[in-house]
A and B are shown apart, each in its own frame.
Chain A
Amino acid sequence: MKTLLQASLILGLATGPAAAADLTVLTAGDQNMVDYINDYLGPLFEKENPGTTVRVVGTGPGDAGSQKIVERFDAQAKANVEKWDADVAVVHEKFAGPMVKEGYLESYRAKIPSGKMVTSEKAKMALGSNVDGYVMPMFSSQTAIAYNPALIPTPPRSYEELSTWVKVNPKQFGYNGIKGGASGVSFVMGWIYAFGEGDANKLMKGPFEEAETKKWDKAFASLKDFTTDATLTPGNAGTLDMLSRGEISMGPVWVDMFYSWQADGKLPPEMKLFLPAPGMPGQPMHYVIPAKSPNTELAEKFVALATSPKVQAEGIVKRFNWYPGIDAKFVQPELDKASWDKLFVDISPEDLATKAKPFPIAPYNSAILEAYEKNVAN
């Protein structure tokens, strides 16, 4: 009985509220996001700030992960909680706008030194909503098409060529639909950019007009056709999995996941990437600090460290193969040439400049997803 009592007491203490020097970081995204903070950033921050502990909570991949963070903030705001249970959150672009609008976030970019090093438009406008000052991009991520050059020596270079290629090579192209992670979503968005009869620029920059959503019927009809000749995979990792087992020979993937899998030996080293014309979307993940964070100053320090050129070079580019969140020209001097080049072997900086697109603004984004379900999936 006594041991039971002690055990429950210890358990109670361990799961009790965080001590003052605990920094809680919520992060959406795949397991690699949690690993990044657990294995690299957290220990680094703890070393620089003795006595603090970084606790990281992963909320899951895709939009679902960010949605959980929003709901957590919603609940605490509605309950009028004085101090929230998170100090820093890492969220997808789509969710930064709504959080700013609800007044959940602190405007902190001007307060930290790396704030000036951010030049990307995506740090000012997140899918059509103004988030200037409230977010710091952790990294930029890009989707591209991975392929096996042993099976396809000359891959199709555009969506147009791809759509005829699958007719000749049925079931060789795999993507994960829209319910299994954002690489499939990104492929679908790229399809609408390529074949939608409206103006792709309007989808990316706004404003939202109902009439624009009526111009996709043909694009979805051809996508439905395309999908019957393609293989549907069970998720971002599922596409890579099937590529590595040779069950498909081509498919859309996140560039960083692709390189990490290759580095871990989970994907053959011969595999290559390309960005099809007219382009595919990518997105940043943003660091945000809740306005009611219990350790605001510590949180700012954490984000400042995370977005410093050194960490962006060592952690973001070298270890995790992401494109840096702050302007690349501040990062390049911190990196050896080999690591810098590795990121640009398959996809050249010019490709990135011309074919790396943003996702559509939020209302178009939702409309496209829904139209996909209506026209392609059902």
Chain B
Amino acid sequence: MRKNLLAILLVLPALVMIVLFFIVPLIASILGAFEVGDAWGLGNFRKSFELYSGDMIFTVVIVTVSTALIGIFSIAIGGYLTLGENPRAVAILRWLYRWPMFIPFIVVGQILRTFLAKNGLMNNIFVSLGVLTPLQTVGFLDWRGIVIAFVWKQTPFVTLLVAGAMASLDRSTIEAARNLGASRLRILIEIVLPQISGTLLVGLILSFVTMMSVLSVPLMINAQSPTMLTADIAFRINAHGDYGVANALGMISLILTTGVALIYLRQTMKERS
């Protein structure tokens, strides 16, 4: 009995923190989504779909495309770090690829806003190199800008996990395939990738959830419609003081992320057992 009490006491601070600062606000926001005036109802959700259905699709598409690209790039970088034959190139890449991880999203947005604009740094470089004429330049400050920002910022994170997993593989499988004459690409796809797919999946899911919640990048880069749900939530609160629809939108993005969170949970359960 005494021991039990002690255990509860030890857990209590963490439990109080979670209940007070996470569970209670979450429940309040879920309840708020169903509150229409003084009654309960689905009015906020109806309005959300009426006004922002395009943005919901946009958000899912943007985040999914970004996740796919992040996957491809992190496999490519991780693969080269593991299988690359030029030690200097590997060392440089290893040193370089992590940098974006330490840059906050808002700074990424700000950097890319001036870099990707129609008359921004990137196009100015192309023009001065004679690759493009000023009239041919195109600004990337739309959905493409968001995807570029997300991929640039999140790839290092996934690569870190993937490269770590690849490094801890049993190298004899790779050597065996190489002895039998397999190309490096084939080794990456057929030998390495299947063995690290679990880690890759977890990294991608964590990135997906992170990207769903980023407000600064869409605000900085894509002021256009459609935009991401986070920008709509901010707008509902800031311009209309309408917490109801904002809560409903929050819940919708929660549902969107729940799907991938379930995959994550199943994966970690599998690893535990």
Contacts and interface: CB of A to CB of B under 8 A. Distances in A.
Contact of A366 (B54, B221, B235, B240): B240
6 contacts: A62-B239, A64-B238, A245-B119, A246-B119, A247-B118, A378-B53
A67 B223 contact: no
Nearest to B55: A378
A245 B134 CA distance: 12
A374 interface: yes
Given A70-B241, A246-B119, A377 B223 contact: no
Interface stretch (A149-157, A176-184, A287-295): A176-184
Given A180-B223, A232-B223, A234-B141, A63 B55 contact: no
Interface of A: 62-64, 67, 70-71, 176-180, 232-235, 238, 242, 245-247, 366, 369-370, 373-374, 376-378
Chain B interface main SS type: helix
B69 interface: no
Given A177-B225, A232-B225, A377-B225, A369 B119 contact: no
A359 to B, nearest CB: 13
Contacts of A242: 118
Contact of B238 (A62, A235, A370): A62
Given A234-B141, A247-B117, A377 B226 contact: yes
| Chain A to chain B: the 3 pairs with minimum beta-carbon distance, closest first | A64-B238, A377-B225, A234-B223
Given A234-B141, A247-B118, A378-B51, A177 B240 contact: no
Given A177-B223, A234-B223, A377 B240 contact: no
Interface of B: 50-55, 113, 117-119, 139, 141, 220-227, 231, 235, 237-241
Contacts of A366: 240
A177 B55 CA distance: 15
B148 to A, nearest CB: 16
Contacts of A70: 241
A363 to B, nearest CB: 12
Contacts of B118: 242, 245, 247
A373 B51 CA distance: 6
B225 A378 contact: yes
Contact of B223 (A63, A64, A238): A238
Contacts of A233: 223
B238 A376 contact: no
B51 A179 contact: no
B117 A370 contact: no
A63 B224 contact: no
B218 to A, nearest CB: 10
B53 A63 contact: no
Q: Among the interface residues A70, A245, A376, A378, which one has the most CB atoms of the partner chain B within 10 A?
A: A378
Contacts of B119: 245-247
A143 to B, nearest CB: 17
Contacts of B220: 234
A238 B238 CA distance: 19
Given A232-B224, A234-B223, A378 B54 contact: yes
A371 B218 CA distance: 22
Given A247-B139, A378-B50, 17 more contacts: A62-B239, A67-B238, A177-B225, A179-B223, A179-B231, A179-B239, A232-B225, A234-B222, A234-B223, A235-B223, A238-B223, A247-B119, A366-B240, A370-B51, A377-B225, A378-B225, A378-B226
A366 B235 CA distance: 12
A245 B117 contact: yes
Contacts of A176: 223
A54 B196 CA distance: 61
Contact of B239 (A63, A71, A235, A374): A63
Contacts of B224: 177, 232
A73 to B, nearest CB: 13
A249 B137 CA distance: 16
B239 A64 contact: yes
Contacts of B231: 179
A245 B113 CA distance: 14
A179 B235 contact: yes
B270 to A, nearest CB: 40
Contacts of B226: 377-378
Contacts of B50: 374, 378
A64 B54 CA distance: 24
Contact of B51 (A64, A67, A374): A374
A292 B113 CA distance: 43
